[in-house]
Structure 1
Amino acid sequence: MAKIRVYELSKELNISSRELIDILLTEFSIKVKNHMSVLEEEDAELIKEIFEENKDLATGNKENGSGKSIIDEYEEELDESVNAKKKKNKKNAKNENITNEESVQEKEVKDIEEIIIEIEDTITVKDFSDKLDKPINEVIKELMFMGVMAAINQELDFDTAEKLGEKFNAMVVRKEDTSGILEQEEDDDEVGNEKRPPVVTVMGHVDHGKTSILDAIRKAKVTATEAGGITQHIGAYTVNVNGEKVTFLDTPGHEAFTTMRSRGAQITDVVILVVAADDGIMPQTAEAINHCKAAEVPIIVAINKIDKEGANIDRVKQELTEYNLIPEDWGGDVICVPVSAHTKEGLDTLLEMVILTSEMEELKADPTRMAKGTVIEAKLDKGRGPVATLLVQNGTLNTGDSIIVGSTYGRIRAMFDDKGKKIKSAGPSIPVEVLGLSEVPDAGDRFNVVKDEKTARNMAEKRKDKLKEQNLSTNRVSLEDLYSQIREGKVKELSVIVRADVQGSAEAVKQSLEKLSTEDVKVRVIHGAVGAISETDVTLAAASNAVIIGFNVRPSNNAATLAEKEGVNIRTYRIIYDAIEDVKSAMIGMLEPEYKEVVLGTAEVRATYKISSVGTIAGAYVLNGKIVRNSDVRIIRDGIVVFESKLASLKRFKDDVKEVASGYECGIMVEKFNDIKEGDLIEAYTMEEIKPKHL
Structure 2
Amino acid sequence: MISDRMTVAELADAMGKDTDHVFEALMFVEDGDRFEYEDSVINSLNIIQEVVRKSGFRFELKSKKQVKQEENKDVVRQPPPDASVLVKRPPVVTIMGHVDHGKTTLLDYLRQSRVVDQEFGGITQHIGAFRVKLQSGESITFLDTPGHAAFTAMRSRGAKVTDIVVLVVAADDGVMEQTIESIQMAQDAGVSIIVAINKIDKPEADLERTKQGLIAHGIMLEEVGGDVQVVPISALKGTNVSELQEAIITQAELMELKGDLIGLVEGSVVESKTDPGRGKLTTAIIQRGTLKKGSYLVAGTAWAKVRGMFDDQGQPVKEAPPSTAVEMIGWKDLPSAGEEIFQVETEQRVKEIIAWRKNQEVLKKVEEDSVIIADKREEHEKTYKQMLVKKFEMGYRKLKRKGPREKEIAIGDGTPQLSVVVKADVDGSLEAILDTMDTYNSVKCELDLVHYGVGNITETDVELAESFNGFIYGFNVTVPQSIASLAKSKRVSIKLHNVIYKLFDNLIEDLSSQLPLATREDVTGEANLLQVFKVTEGKKKVTVAGCRCTKGSLNKRKKFRIVRGVDIVYEGVALSLKHHKKEVDTVKTDVECGIRFDELSIDIKPGDQVVCYDLEHLEQSIDWRPNF
How high is the TM-score relative to the length of structure 2? Answer: 0.50
Higher helix share: 1
Higher relative contact order (CA 8 A, sep 6+): 2
How high is the TM-score relative to the length of structure 1? Answer: 0.45
